Structure 1
Amino acid sequence: MLKVWEPESIESTRGEYGIISGRLNDIAWDGESQRVIAVGDGREQFGRCITADSGNSVGEIIGHSKSVNAVAMKPQRPFRAATVGDDGNMVFYHGAPYKFNNKSAQHTGFVLGAAYSPDGSSLVTVGADKRIQLYDGKTGEPTKEIGQGEHSGSIFAVSWSPDGKKFVTASADQTVKLWDVDAGSVVQTWKFGEDVSVGDQQVGVVFVPGRSDGLIISLSLAGNLAYLTEGKPEPARVVYGHGKSITALSIGSDGKGADLWSGSFDGRVCHWDVNSGIATVVDGQAHTNQVSQFATADGKVLSAGWDDTLRIVDESAKTFLGTSIKLQAQPKGVSAANGLVYVATYSGVSVYSGEKLVSEQSFDFTPGAIAASGSFVAIGANENSVRIYNASSNGKLEEVKSLSNPTGTISALAFSKDGSHLAAGNSVGKIYVYSAGSWELVADRWSAHTARVTSIAWDDTGAYAANAHKDGVNGVAWVEGGRVASAGGDANVKIWKVQNLP
């Protein structure tokens, strides 16, 4: 699906158009901002050219036998376009309407990127064969190859400078290179990572238009954005974040909500400054699989992951500490109280003091969620109940109450900050609130969702609880200023202003 957005508003689209029956890999506008070509990996065709305002077809994208990876459109009349793909071809079109003109097979492998110079005189393509090929922008005829032997890995992307005298390339060899087009030589190279690192492969790059400082932004496979300027050997700034779905979210252990911790499907853990929105990737040995849940206490972040480990982050240093703690089974949740850490797994609950295992307990049910406050430990059971335990100083759990939840399996638990209430969310979107100690049901009408509740967070007063459900939101947290942070499947952390609460 291709969405064309109104330039003055991010809330509305000019149109939504089905292009191909598969993934779209690239899009390009013509010089009049009226036509768009979108290409990708379809079953019957690999791209379409449409008008941006109506979606009407204004040409056909043919000539490829495999997935099309990139498209470039000449910005001036007479209009031209080029597409490149896994079949090793550059296909050239005359427009508009855009029709097949010729194809060129200068590359010997996948062709991954294409770009027109600002004046339309030259076209450049790059590919997995490390080749940089130039063409006449009007005829599509090959003119010269440059940069033989400079890149040692596939070249994923290319972008021209605003003056058309240079372009920049991004490669799997973990470098970004700036080129002088006429000389055919490298002006500057930026290298990312000291050792071989898949995450440091540079998979995208762009000369930022409309700027006088020649800013270049490159994208790594790990999702980092580096701000580069000619003449400066180091990035002026690196923007970190997540490239995969965020699966865990928590505020810092001080409870003030000025800091956020997020974990994602690929095991990355990030710290966020709430006011600036700037993220830092936690250093050290990270999880090798999905981060399941966080607990925070005493300046530490306790991270449970689907690599069946519990890892500890020093909040001030933003670094993983020591060695990971191997868990008995895949974790379902983690919580901390009174100096003890409780990890619920498919096989039971393990209790830790620091990095030392002090207690293990198995049950006749499978835990689905866990929350601790003071000496109370609540465990969501797979048979539609919440089991309440009293924890001794050495982590032994003694059951004191079983709370029935007839509508669904318990999927999320959270105590209010003062420990006076327990909220339990289930698999059908219902949330029940109990009074801690007496365990009487005090609220059962929280039913805004129709899907599994994945996360619950109480505000400082204990009067309100924010919750997330499986429709793309995996974590919520109250942050400073009475705002709510959410994170989910789109790999974004969003801060929401809360208004009109009763």
Structure 2
Amino acid sequence: MPYELKHVFASLPQMERGVAKVIGGDPKGNNFLYTNGKCVIIRNIENPAIADIYTEHAHTVTVAKYAPSGYYIASGDASGRIRIWDTTQKEHLLKYEYTPLSGKVKTLHGPRTARGSLLLGTDERNSGPCSCGTPAPQLGNFRVDIKQTRPYRLALASDDTCGSFFEGPPFKFKFTMREHSQFVNCVRFSPDGNRFVTAGADGQMFLYDGKDGNLISTLGGEKAHKGGIYAISWSPDSSQLISASGDKTQLGCLWQNEHLLTISLSGYINYLDKNNPDRTIRTVKGHSKSIQCVTVHKKDGRPHIYSGSHDGHINILFTLYGQ
């Protein structure tokens, strides 16, 4: 009798202190994704117990993002390889594979064009923005985002404390933004493209015009956070945003539909109350390190799964699957 897969118990994201974790959102609003080791984890945002795992990378996956259509996911790994694969079929068939970078891929973005062919990446060997198959110029370690409405714009944030603004495509440099005093860790355009925000290790956030790149104002006063800011995510209507900072050990965030998610240093996924973001209404727990042992125990006729991981955590999971 052949075995049949009944359920996937997904791992948590693997975290590193002081390093932002990208949470990708499904444009259709159904799922979110993140990486752990050589895997991309896809989870249902309403019920995160429903999960799928993509395991076709040969090296540690560093970032994964949905295409604007929602039908494909692009994932990049530590070797500089980018894979674009299908989300509509269980097999997740590979559509394209590129190796445009010589080091770790840190960001992936593409404009909402008919072809949607442009991908951008950064690595740790001082490579700059590139399209797949095009050599990357030497610009330093950076983060990037693309305006998803016409006219297209590109904003770049760098470890040299500066940001850059580009018009295109093809994207051409216009000017440098010098408001931050420390590393600029994140840059994000609003969904409607009218604004973009930069956030840095100095705890500051600056709001700019999405079309011409002019500075509009600071956010949160002199400092938005006491610690460095690692991630930003806009609300779907572009009227609000959520930020993740080291002052509360949050390394990633996502605002998708009515859901506000953050990722803690522990890897725990926290659902926040939209009307009171200081209140956590749900926490998704699990393993973020390799599992070393598993056993099943029945109590009152109900099976429980006990698992122990490399970091010394033991999880107990009640399941209805199997007898």
TM-score by length of 1: 0.47
Cα offsets for 1:204-261 (capped at 9, x unmatched): xxxxxxxxxxxxxxxxxxxxxxxxxxxxx7676442233733832111133xx32111
Give 2:121's aligned residue. 343
Give 1:269's aligned residue. 40
Could you tell me which runs of 5 or more consecutive residues in structure 1 were left unpaired when the two chains were aligned. Answer: 1-193, 195-232
Aligned equivalents of 1:243 and 1:335: distance in 2? 21
How many residues are paired up?
A: 258
The secondary structure found in structure 1 opposite 2:54 is coil
The secondary structure found in structure 2 opposite 1:297 is coil
User: Which amino acid in 2 is paired with 1:272?
Assistant: R
Instruction: Give 1:369 deviation, angstroms.
Output: 0.4
Give 1:381's aligned residue. 158
Any residues of structure 2 matched to 1:1-400 within 5 Å, and which?
237-242=7-12, 244-245=14-15, 247-254=21-28, 257-264=29-36, 266-286=37-57, 288-292=59-63, 294=65, 296-298=67-69, 299-317=71-89, 319=92, 321-322=94-95, 324-326=97-99, 327-337=101-111, 338=113, 339=116, 340-345=118-123, 346-352=126-132, 357=133, 359-363=134-138, 365-373=139-147, 374=149, 375-392=152-169, 396-400=170-174
Could you tell me which runs of 5 or more consecutive residues in structure 2 were left unpaired when the two chains were aligned. Answer: 278-323
Cα offsets for 1:409-463 (capped at 9, x unmatched): 2110110001111110111221111011232222313333233322111111211
Cα offsets for 1:301-322 (capped at 9, x unmatched): 2222223221223222362625
User: Which amino acid in 2 is paired with 1:422?
Assistant: F
1:281 to 1:488, Cα distance in 2 relative to 1, 3 A: farther
Cα offsets for 1:77-126 (capped at 9, x unmatched): xxxxxxxxxxxxxxxxxxxxxxxxxxxxxxxxxxxxxxxxxxxxxxxxxx
Give 2:274's aligned residue. 498
1:349 to 1:274, Cα distance in 2 relative to 1, 3 A: same
Cα offsets for 1:46-72 (capped at 9, x unmatched): xxxxxxxxxxxxxxxxxxxxxxxxxxx
Paired residues of 2:8 and 2:51 also in contact (CA < 8 A)? no
Paired residues of 1:253 and 1:301 also in contact (CA < 8 A)? no
Paired residues of 1:241 and 1:279 also in contact (CA < 8 A)? no
Paired residues of 2:14 and 2:35 also in contact (CA < 8 A)? no
Aligned equivalents of 2:89 and 2:5: distance in 1? 22
1:466 to 1:384, Cα distance in 2 relative to 1, 3 A: same
Aligned equivalents of 2:165 and 2:7: distance in 1? 49
Matching of residue 435 in structure 1 with residue 202 in structure 2: no
Instruction: Give 1:370 deviation, angstroms.
Output: 0.5
The secondary structure found in structure 1 opposite 2:225 is coil
Aligned equivalents of 2:6 and 2:68: distance in 1? 34
Aligned equivalents of 1:236 and 1:406: distance in 2? 50
Paired residues of 1:336 and 1:372 also in contact (CA < 8 A)? yes
1:308 to 1:361, Cα distance in 2 relative to 1, 3 A: closer
Q: Tell me the percent identity.
A: 12
Aligned equivalents of 2:105 and 2:55: distance in 1? 21
Aligned equivalents of 1:397 and 1:495: distance in 2? 37
Give 2:175's aligned residue. 401
Paired residues of 1:253 and 1:300 also in contact (CA < 8 A)? no
Instruction: Give 1:492 deviation, angstroms.
Output: 2.6
User: Which amino acid in 2 is paired with 1:377?
Assistant: L
Name which structure has the greater RCO, CA cutoff 8 Å, separation 6+.
Answer: 2
Paired residues of 1:367 and 1:379 also in contact (CA < 8 A)? no
1:331 to 1:451, Cα distance in 2 relative to 1, 3 A: farther
Paired residues of 1:455 and 1:476 also in contact (CA < 8 A)? yes
Cα offsets for 1:366-395 (capped at 9, x unmatched): 142000114211111232211111232xxx
1:406 to 1:238, Cα distance in 2 relative to 1, 3 A: closer
Aligned equivalents of 2:108 and 2:5: distance in 1? 38
Paired residues of 1:260 and 1:274 also in contact (CA < 8 A)? yes
Q: Which has the higher strand share?
A: 1
User: Which amino acid in 2 is paired with 1:401?
Assistant: F
